[in-house]
């Protein structure tokens, strides 16, 4: 960022097209970072305002007011209260929806009282004539005493005017409060407040009192003085209420002179669609149909790119193996890093497709209707209508799902949602389910048409959801957390999704997965590779011992190599670990080989398949999955003399993978979001314990 | 006592002046002010939450909060 760049903060109510404007202004220069100390994503981008002037634009989370009720919203307050001098904006760009101008101006009036230069961009003006709205722009500018521009961000109209207004506002750098509401309420009280530090605007000081949020320039003494105002809570509350009423009175005065709505001209698409989408019966059917469509599409659309990624990385490994000089470094690349990266990339198609659907549903306004329909049901289980979005996202990957809980303002409901999301069937479980199902479930039809294997998979999905819901119910009853939250969801107008917004959203969430989960999966892959390719003496002598064994003299060269690989793994550190947990997992029907696979699954669950492939000394190429299956099928449990992966053991493993917390990346994200190791540890031991008990019961009953 | 929760679908009421202290700040900020016209648009299938339109804002709020907010019905 150059020194003379204007720092612009983009602020607005949710559903005002703030994101569209941000995308128009910054395009591909966007970068997502983190706010220090909190985990809300910070989106920044550069915008060329004129030939000589650039601006760095920060997209702040959507909010209805500066007084925050969720973590997302508290960012706005923190940015505006200049907690961080480097981040404090020179100009604030407030986006408002032309149809809800009155409500949008409340936030504007608060910001104006902070006495920072402010530009008001009234968005979606292309809808004005359809809604019967007319605005006297000159009068509005005068009344609000600020730069006002009319734009249509989606249609890329008025963007140039926004840029000009930012420059103009920055140059003029004059800023006067709009309401100074507080003086009207109790002049004496607020004079005393202002006297504490006249360098701040009255409203800033008031926010420090009500939100207990202090900038660095506030001295310890001043802080104490401010906190003394906080003692009389009922008075604060009363004054906040009065302030809001006063603001609306001022806004009404302004709008009376400048804003006319002819209601007779308004068309009513919203109420017609609402009658269908929120219908007490059809509403649920439509939601169910949408869900089925989404899951079907994920399977249909992702199989081709996933196969492609799979083969590409297998070829890349081969290529590297053949072209790199032999040695530990090339082993690390061929067996650790390339498969590790492949293991991350392989999930991108499923995750991107799911987030594509979620972004479209959110953009159209349908998601708010789902929240409305589901709130009461979810509340019975200690969650919130808004929890439905994380729970659906969890079927792709728990990491973006857990991040999606940030909009839930009640801490208890949010925490419960975070804790149960990993029960939903994420995409890493699918390869494991696929191979186990094909081993133990016959490929026959039930009810004459439904494939039994597909049915089992469906049941596993259902098991994930049901367990999540039941776990939430138990947590609701046991967690002693007091959190008073107020539930309010705006029901936005229905609109066609903007391709640009959807694309950016998908890109951003996929990135969150790749960089959030990816680096942990990759790091663990390397660690596991090391543990699997090193070991004590017996490991080093493996090749010699196998070759010298007379039993093996009949084997072909490749078979011999595979046998050596298998024996090496058995004697590696990870093999030793697998063997040492064998007594614990024996009652579940597993041996040390499965034990190794369970341990390696901590990188990502799908590693299970690859690990077993190595153990059963086959190449893990795609074409050879049948060979893995054959090998697994012919594996004998020496104690019973029966198949190792028979029905009881297979079911037990399925149940284990459905419940166990085996994802380091998820644990790391939960730690980040809850700011303590307590909750991820509860997840790790609670879920894995549940998995152990259930698998034990399943195996013991079935065998 | 009439509250937002006692409205029928399609019915309009006016938030009474005395309701101010029972309206959560967040809702107040979203336009749910004393004197404002409030219409009940839809009730969720399990009778909760309520979908209302107040001061041009379309909002879903829980019944618990809605039953705290006194209104005068339009016929008065």
State the SS3 of A300-349.
Answer: HHHHHHHHHHHHHHHHHHHHHHHHCCCCHHHHHHHHHHHHHHHHHHCCHH
Kindly determine whether residue A103 and residue B31, on different chains, have CB atoms separated by under 8 Å: yes
The SS3 call for residue A392 is helix
**Choosing among B35, B42, B53, B64, which should be mutated to test the A contact, i.e. which has the most A CBs within 10 A?**
B42
- With beta carbons under 8 A apart, name residues in chain B contacting A492: 58
Kindly determine whether residue A375 and residue B27, on different chains, have CB atoms separated by under 8 Å: no
pLDDT of residue A175: 74
Contact in structure between A210 and A150 (CB atoms under 8 Å): no
- The shortest C-alpha distance from A110 to chain B (Å) reads 11
pLDDT-derived band of residue B76, with 50, 70 and 90 as boundaries?
A: very low
Query: In chain A, which residue's Cα lies nearest the Cα of B30?
Result: A103
For residue B29, give the nearest of A106, A237, A373 by CB distance: A106
Q: What is the ipTM of this complex?
A: 0.94
Instruction: Report the relative pairing of strands A91-97 and A118-123 from DSSP bridges.
Output: parallel
- With beta carbons under 8 A apart, name residues in chain A contacting B45: 280-281, 283-284, 373, 376
Q: Report the mean per-residue pLDDT for chain B.
A: 88
Contact in structure between A226 and A214 (CB atoms under 8 Å): yes
Measure CA A49 to chain center: 32
Query: In chain A, which residue's Cα lies nearest the Cα of B42?
Result: A278
Q: Say which range, A7-11, A78-82, A113-117, A554-558, has the weakest mean pLDDT.
A: A554-558
Q: What is the spatial distance between Cα A526 and Cα A532, in angstroms, rounded to a whole number?
A: 10
Q: What is the spatial distance between Cα A246 and Cα A184, in angstroms, rounded to a whole number?
A: 9
Q: What percent of chain A lies above the pLDDT cut of 70?
A: 94
What's the pLDDT tens digit per position in A415-442? 999 999 999 998 889 888 988 998 888 8
Query: In chain B, which residue's Cα lies nearest the Cα of A65?
Result: B29
Query: Residue B2 CB: number of other CB atoms within 10 A?
Result: 14
- With beta carbons under 8 A apart, name residues in chain B contacting A99: 56
Give the side-chain half-sphere CA count within 13 A for A84. Answer: 11
pLDDT-derived band of residue A526, with 50, 70 and 90 as boundaries?
A: confident
Q: What are A's interface residues with B at a Cβ cutoff of 8 A?
A: 64-65, 67, 69, 99-100, 102-103, 106, 237-238, 240-241, 244-245, 248, 270-271, 274, 278, 280-281, 283-284, 368, 371-373, 375-377, 385, 486-492
What's the pLDDT tens digit per position in A195-245? 888 888 888 889 888 888 888 788 888 888 888 888 888 888 888 888 898
- With beta carbons under 8 A apart, name residues in chain B contacting A485: none
What's the pLDDT tens digit per position in A614-639? 666 554 444 455 566 777 787 777 77
**With helix as H, strand as E and coil as C, how does A529-579 read?**
HHHHCCCCHHHHCHHHHHHHCHHHHHCCHHHHHHHHHHHHHHHCHHHHHHH
The residue that leads in pLDDT, A698 or A518, is A698
Q: Domains in chain A, ordered, with CATH?
A: 6-264 (3.40.50.300)
- With beta carbons under 8 A apart, name residues in chain A contacting B23: 241
Q: What is the spatial distance between Cα A22 and Cα A693, in angstroms, rounded to a whole number?
A: 50
Q: What is the spatial distance between Cα A426 and Cα A211, in angstroms, rounded to a whole number?
A: 39
Query: Residue A188 CB: number of other CB atoms within 10 A?
Result: 8
- With beta carbons under 8 A apart, name residues in chain B contacting A281: 45
Runs of H (alpha helix) within A572-606: 573-585, 592-600
The CATH class that applies to domain B4-73 reads: mainly beta
Kindly determine whether residue B62 and residue A244, on different chains, have CB atoms separated by under 8 Å: no
- With beta carbons under 8 A apart, name residues in chain A contacting B31: 102-103, 106, 248
What's the pLDDT tens digit per position in A270-325? 888 998 999 888 999 999 999 989 888 887 888 889 889 888 988 888 888 888 88
What's the pLDDT tens digit per position in A30-63? 776 655 545 556 788 899 999 889 999 999 888 9
Measured over the CA atoms of residue A426, residue A431, residue A434 and residue A439, the dihedral's sign is: negative
Give the side-chain half-sphere CA count within 13 A for A58. Answer: 25
Using a 10 angstrom Cβ sphere, with 0-12 exposed, 13-18 middle and 19 or more buried, the burial of residue A507 is middle
- With beta carbons under 8 A apart, name residues in chain A contacting B47: 376
What's the pLDDT tens digit per position in A309-322? 888 988 888 888 88
- Mean pLDDT along residues B21-38: 88
Map out the domains of chain B as residue ranges. Answer: 4-73
pLDDT of residue A619: 46
- With beta carbons under 8 A apart, name residues in chain B contacting A65: 25-26, 29
- The shortest C-alpha distance from A238 to chain B (Å) reads 7
Q: What percent of chain A lies above the pLDDT cut of 90?
A: 30
Q: What is the spatial distance between Cα A689 and Cα A694, in angstroms, rounded to a whole number?
A: 9
Kindly determine whether residue A492 and residue B55, on different chains, have CB atoms separated by under 8 Å: no
- With beta carbons under 8 A apart, name residues in chain A contacting B28: 241, 244-245
- Mean pLDDT along residues A357-385: 92
Query: Residue A681 CB: number of other CB atoms within 10 A?
Result: 14
pLDDT-derived band of residue A399, with 50, 70 and 90 as boundaries?
A: confident
Check whether A343 has a pLDDT greater than 60: yes
Kindly determine whether residue B26 and residue A375, on different chains, have CB atoms separated by under 8 Å: no
Q: What are B's interface residues with A at a Cβ cutoff of 8 A?
A: 20-21, 23-31, 33-34, 41-42, 44-49, 51, 55-62, 65
Q: What is the spatial distance between Cα A685 and Cα A282, in angstroms, rounded to a whole number?
A: 41
For residue A65, give the nearest of B29, B47, B48 by CB distance: B29
Q: What is the spatial distance between Cα A461 and Cα A658, in angstroms, rounded to a whole number?
A: 9
The residue that leads in pLDDT, A544 or A234, is A234
Q: Say which range, A163-172, A252-261, A523-532, A620-629, has the weakest mean pLDDT.
A: A620-629
The residue that leads in pLDDT, B52 or A605, is B52
Using a 10 angstrom Cβ sphere, with 0-12 exposed, 13-18 middle and 19 or more buried, the burial of residue A643 is middle
pLDDT of residue A347: 82
For residue A489, give the nearest of B45, B47, B59 by CB distance: B59
Q: What's the Cα-to-Cα distance from A703 to each of A80, A97, A289, A660, rounded to whole Å?
A: 64, 64, 39, 22
Q: How far separated are the first and last CA of chain A, in Å rounded?
A: 66
Q: Where are the beta strands (DSSP E) in A143-270?
A: 147-150, 259-261
pLDDT-derived band of residue A609, with 50, 70 and 90 as boundaries?
A: confident
- The shortest C-alpha distance from A492 to chain B (Å) reads 7
- Mean pLDDT along residues A337-365: 87
């Amino acid at each position: 960022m150059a020194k003379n760049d204007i720092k612009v903060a983009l602020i607005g109510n949710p559903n005002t097209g703030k994101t569209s404007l941000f995308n128009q202004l910054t395009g591909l220069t966007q970068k997502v970072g983190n706010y220090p100390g909190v985990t809300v994503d910070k989106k920044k981008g550069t915008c060329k305002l004129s030939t000589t002037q650039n601006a760095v634009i920060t997209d702040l989370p959507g909010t209805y007011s500066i007084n925050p009720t969720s973590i997302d919203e508290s960012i706005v307050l923190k940015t505006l209260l200049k907690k961080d001098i480097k981040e404090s904006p020179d100009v604030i760009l407030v986006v408002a929806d032309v149809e809800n101008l009155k409500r949008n101006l409340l936030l504007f009036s608060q910001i104006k009282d902070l006495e920072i230069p402010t530009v008001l961009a009234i968005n979606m003006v292309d809808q004005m004539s359809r809604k019967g709205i007319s605005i006297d722009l000159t009068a509005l500018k005068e009344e609000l005493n600020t730069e006002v521009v009319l734009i249509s961000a989606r249609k890329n109209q008025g963007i140039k005017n926004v840029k000009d207004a930012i420059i103009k506002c920055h140059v003029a750098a004059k800023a006067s409060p709009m309401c100074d509401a507080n003086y009207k309420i109790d002049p004496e009280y607020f004079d005393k407040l202002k006297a504490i530090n006249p360098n701040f605007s009255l409203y800033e000081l008031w926010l420090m009192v009500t939100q207990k949020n202090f900038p660095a320039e506030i001295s310890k003494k001043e802080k104490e003085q401010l906190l003394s105002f906080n003692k009389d809570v009922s008075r604060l509350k009363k004054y906040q209420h009065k302030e809001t009423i006063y603001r609306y009175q001022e806004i009404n005065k302004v709008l009376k002179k400048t804003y006319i709505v002819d209601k007779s001209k308004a068309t009513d698409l919203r109420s017609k669609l609402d009658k269908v989408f929120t219908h007490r019966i059809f509403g649920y059917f439509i939601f169910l149909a949408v869900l089925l469509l989404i899951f079907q599409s994920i399977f249909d659309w992702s199989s081709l790119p996933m196969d492609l990624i799979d083969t590409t990385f297998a070829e890349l490994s081969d290529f590297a193996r053949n072209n790199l000089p032999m040695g530990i470094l090339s082993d690390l690349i061929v067996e650790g890093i390339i498969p590790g990266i492949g293991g991350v990339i392989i999930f991108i198609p499923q995750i991107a497709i799911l987030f594509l659907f979620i972004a479209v549903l959110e953009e159209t306004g349908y998601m708010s209707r789902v929240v409305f329909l589901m709130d009461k049901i979810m509340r019975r289980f200690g969650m919130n209508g808004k929890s439905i979005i994380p729970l659906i996202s969890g079927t792709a990957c728990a990491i973006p799902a857990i991040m999606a809980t940030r909009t839930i303002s009640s801490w208890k409901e949010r925490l419960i949602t975070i804790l149960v999301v990993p029960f939903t069937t994420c995409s890493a479980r699918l390869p494991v389910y696929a191979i186990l199902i094909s081993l133990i479930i016959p490929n026959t039809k039930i009810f004459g048409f439904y494939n039994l294997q597909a049915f089992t998979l469906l049941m596993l999905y259902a098991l994930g959801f049901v367990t999540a819901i039941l776990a939430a119910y138990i947590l609701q009853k046991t967690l002693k957390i007091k959190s008073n939250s107020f539930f309010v969801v705006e029901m936005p107008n229905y609109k066609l999704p903007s391709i640009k917004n959807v694309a950016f959203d998908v890109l951003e969430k996929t990135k969150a997965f790749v960089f959030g989960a990816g680096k942990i999966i990759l790091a663990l892959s390397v660690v596991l590779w090391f543990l699997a390719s090193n070991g004590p003496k017996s490991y080093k002598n493996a090749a010699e011992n196998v070759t010298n064994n007379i039993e093996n003299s009949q084997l072909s060269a490749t078979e011999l190599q595979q046998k050596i690989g298998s024996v090496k793994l058995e004697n590696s550190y990870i093999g030793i670990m697998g063997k040492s947990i064998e007594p614990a997992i024996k009652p579940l029907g597993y041996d040390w080989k499965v034990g190794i696979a369970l341990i390696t699954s901590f990188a990502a669950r799908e590693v299970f398949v690859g690990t077993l492939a190595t153990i059963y000394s086959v190449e893990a190429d795609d074409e050879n999955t049948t060979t893995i299956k054959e090998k697994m099928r012919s594996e004998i449990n020496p104690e019973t003399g029966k198949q190792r992966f028979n029905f009881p053991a297979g079911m037990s493993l399925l149940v284990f993978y459905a419940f166990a917390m085996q994802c380091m990346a998820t644990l790391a994200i939960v730690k980040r979001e809850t700011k303590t190791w307590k909750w991820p540890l509860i997840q790790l031991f609670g879920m894995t314990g549940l998995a152990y008990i259930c698998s034990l019961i399943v195996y013991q009953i079935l065998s | 006592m009439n509250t937002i929760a006692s409205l029928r679908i399609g019915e309009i009421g006016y938030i009474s002046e005395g309701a101010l202290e029972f309206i959560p700040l967040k809702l107040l900020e979203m336009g749910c002010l004393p004197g404002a016209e409030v219409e009940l648009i839809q009730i969720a299938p399990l009778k909760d939450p309520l979908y209302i339109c107040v001061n041009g804002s379309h909002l879903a709020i829980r019944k618990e909060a809605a039953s705290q907010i006194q209104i005068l019905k339009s016929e008065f």
